[in-house]
């Protein structure tokens, strides 16, 4: 311990650079290649399209999709995207820019909180493990709401913890939970509420957690922030919008949405594999007693995991709020191991090897499949997936070495003897930064090729029609890509169609008296229903997508 203390003393001068190192890592890893690949259906394109429509209509109070009310989400994240688009243009880089900024802020936040709870070394470990884990890293390079939403909830919970010893922090807690509600809806308040109640019941054993004054300050600040939009919407549009919004939230919790029904244990598997390597390091700390902020984080983890395991609709990013407490647990284990308070055991080695091998194998298999599609196709039963492989995608062969090299580095890091403080630091920085570099290369080289298979042909078609006075619609499957990449303009449809439901509008395009050419896109596995339609003619079938045109208008 004296040797460790001496090392820490000698590195104190260097610690003043830690915040800059953390921010530099965020900028280095999150911003490059943001616009290197088209947005993915559904969520990325859905949200970007809502932001684009805000700009075109000038209506920033109403969230829209296809220029019709979209009651699934409040507007804060769309405001952020719209601001980026106004500055950077309507493109993929702008759509993902906000999350890259949030990623840098998140790394700085966990470093700063870690430094205040323990010290700068702990804060740096926490930031590194967040940066160098698979799904937490990748989400900051996406255009989905959750990274922003989760940061607000985390800060709300952190300031609730701080309010136990300094009541003034409860105001900040309420503000951040209000921002989370303004980002994704009441589930932000629900997660905070379940966490606070669970903390009050379990470690606090029903003792006073907050004073009545603190509760009132929290509630009023939270409601005030959320009301910046909710109250305005109620005044302008009446209660119907809230009825639709609430009904959607209930449906999301009670029935499988969009085919996302999964078994109860789904999110545990997703977090275990997707959050590698933080998940492996976090398990020992989760299994042990935690105090102070660690207790809040442990409870937050279980609240999120149990809540979204109960929710009938299960999508990968629903459990992403668990990344914050899990990363804290992982950092706690690594810090205690670094200082000699915890011992490495064979189960950690086993977990790193098994999950690391599985992920590396996937990274190796994807380019190998891409380079040998003819050999793989006979084993695929999905006709749409089979046709996807018709896409012309160039694989250099270099891509295989990303996953292979990553696993070799893991092996070296795991099995090289870690018998000193210095070597342990090298292990922590090595496993996190090698994961970050691996994901950086995957995003730059492999992900664009995957996108070409899955949706490239359809997006090419939408972009080819951009600026033309035509109708573009998808039939037989759900998509938002035609809206964003065709860049559908407001008031491009007759006033008589405004009150039509989506199905009624589709039928009007297929059989009604339309005023301009209409084009349709469907999938090869849905084409049979439209193959003999009297008003449709085939233009082309490409990579699993079928392009059709209305015969007469």
What is the distance between the alpha carbons of residues 388 and 385, in angstroms, rounded to a whole number?
5
Residue 256 has a pLDDT of 58
145, 189 Cβ separation under 8 angstroms? no
Residue 282 has a pLDDT of 95
Parts of the chain with a pLDDT under 50: 1-6, 8-10, 13, 258-259
Domain around 503: 464-550
Strand duo 536-542 + 545-550: pairing = antiparallel
Whether residue 507 lies inside any domain: the answer is yes
* Nearest C-alpha neighbor of 453 from the set 34, 38, 35, 33: 38
Residue 126 has a pLDDT of 98
Task: Determine the Cα angle at 4 with ends 333 and 426, to 5°.
Answer: 60
Which of 120, 143, 166 is the endpoint of a domain?
Answer: 143
Whether residue 301 lies inside any domain: the answer is no
Instruction: Say whether both 438 and 516 belong to one domain.
Output: no
Instruction: Say whether both 451 and 479 belong to one domain.
Output: no
Residue 242 has a pLDDT of 61
Which of 121, 143, 165 is the endpoint of a domain?
Answer: 143
Residue 41 has a pLDDT of 82
Whether residue 492 lies inside any domain: the answer is yes
Residue 1 has a pLDDT of 42
Whether residue 403 lies inside any domain: the answer is yes
Please tell me the number of Cα atoms within 13 Å of 304 on its side-chain side.
26
Residues 6+ apart with CB under 8 A from 484: 39, 45, 48, 49, 52
Which of 100, 126, 143 is the endpoint of a domain?
Answer: 143
Residue 117 has a pLDDT of 94
Whether residue 213 lies inside any domain: the answer is no
Burial class for 120, CB neighbours closer than 10 Å (0-12, 13-18, 19+):
buried
- How many distinct structural domains can be found in the chain? 3
pTM of the entire structure? 0.92
Residue 310 has a pLDDT of 87
């Amino acid at each position: 311990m004296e040797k460790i203390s001496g090392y820490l003393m000698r590195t104190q001068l260097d610690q003043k650079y830690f915040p800059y190192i953390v921010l530099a890592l965020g900028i280095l890893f999150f911003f490059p290649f943001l616009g290197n690949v088209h947005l993915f259906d559904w969520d990325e394109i859905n949200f970007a399209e809502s932001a684009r429509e805000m700009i075109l209509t000038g209506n920033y109070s109403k969230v829209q999709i296809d220029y019709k009310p979209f009651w699934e989400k409040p507007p804060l994240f769309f405001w952020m995207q719209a601001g980026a688009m106004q500055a950077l243009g309507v493109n993929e880089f702008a759509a993902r820019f906000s999350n890259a900024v949030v990623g840098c802020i998140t790394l700085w936040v966990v470093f700063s909180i870690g430094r205040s709870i323990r010290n700068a070394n702990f804060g740096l470990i926490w930031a590194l493990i967040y940066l160098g884990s698979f799904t937490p890293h990748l989400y900051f390079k996406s255009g989905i709401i959750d990274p922003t939403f989760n940061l607000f909830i985390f800060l709300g919970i952190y300031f609730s913890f701080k309010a136990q010893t300094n009541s003034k922090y409860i105001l900040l807690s309420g503000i951040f939970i209000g921002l989370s509600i303004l980002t994704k809806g009441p589930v932000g308040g629900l997660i905070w509420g379940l966490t606070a109640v669970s903390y009050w019941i379990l470690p606090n054993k029903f003792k006073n957690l907050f004073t009545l004054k603190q509760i009132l300050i929290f509630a009023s600040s939270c409601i005030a922030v959320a009301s910046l939009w909710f109250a305005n919407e109620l005044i302008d549009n009446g209660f119907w919008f809230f009825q639709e919004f609430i009904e959607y939230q209930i449906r999301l919790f009670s029935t499988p949405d969009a085919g996302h029904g999964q078994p109860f244990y789904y999110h545990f598997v997703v977090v275990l594999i997707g959050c590698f390597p933080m998940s492996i390091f976090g398990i020992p700390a989760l299994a042990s007693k935690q105090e102070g902020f660690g207790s809040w984080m442990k409870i937050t983890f279980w609240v999120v995991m149990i809540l979204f395991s109960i929710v009938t609709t299960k999508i990968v990013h629903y459990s992403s709020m668990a990344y914050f407490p899990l990363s804290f647990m992982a950092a706690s284990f690594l810090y205690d191991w670094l200082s000699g308070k915890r011992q490495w055991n064979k189960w950690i080695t086993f977990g790193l090897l098994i999950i690391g091998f599985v992920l590396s194998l996937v990274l190796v298999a994807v380019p190998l499949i891409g380079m040998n599609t003819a050999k793989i196709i006979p084993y695929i039963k999905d006709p749409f997936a089979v046709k996807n492989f018709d896409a012309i995608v160039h694989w250099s062969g270099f891509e295989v070495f990303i996953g292979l090299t990553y696993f070799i580095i893991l092996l070296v890091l795991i099995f090289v003897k870690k018998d000193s403080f210095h070597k342990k630091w090298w292990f922590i920085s090595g496993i996190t930064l090698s994961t970050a570099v691996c994901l950086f290369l995957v995003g730059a080289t492999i992900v664009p090729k995957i996108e070409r298979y899955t949706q490239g042909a359809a997006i090419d078609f939408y972009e080819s029609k951009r600026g033309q006075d035509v109708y573009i619609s998808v039939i037989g499957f759900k998509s938002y890509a035609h809206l964003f990449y065709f860049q559908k303009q407001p008031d491009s449809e007759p006033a008589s169609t405004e009150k039509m439901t989506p199905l009624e509008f589709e039928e009007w395009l297929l059989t009604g008296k339309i005023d301009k050419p209409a084009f349709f896109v469907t999938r090869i596995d849905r084409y049979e229903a439209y193959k003999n339609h009297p008003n449709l003619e085939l233009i082309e079938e490409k990579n699993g997508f079928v392009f059709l045109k209305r015969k007469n208008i």
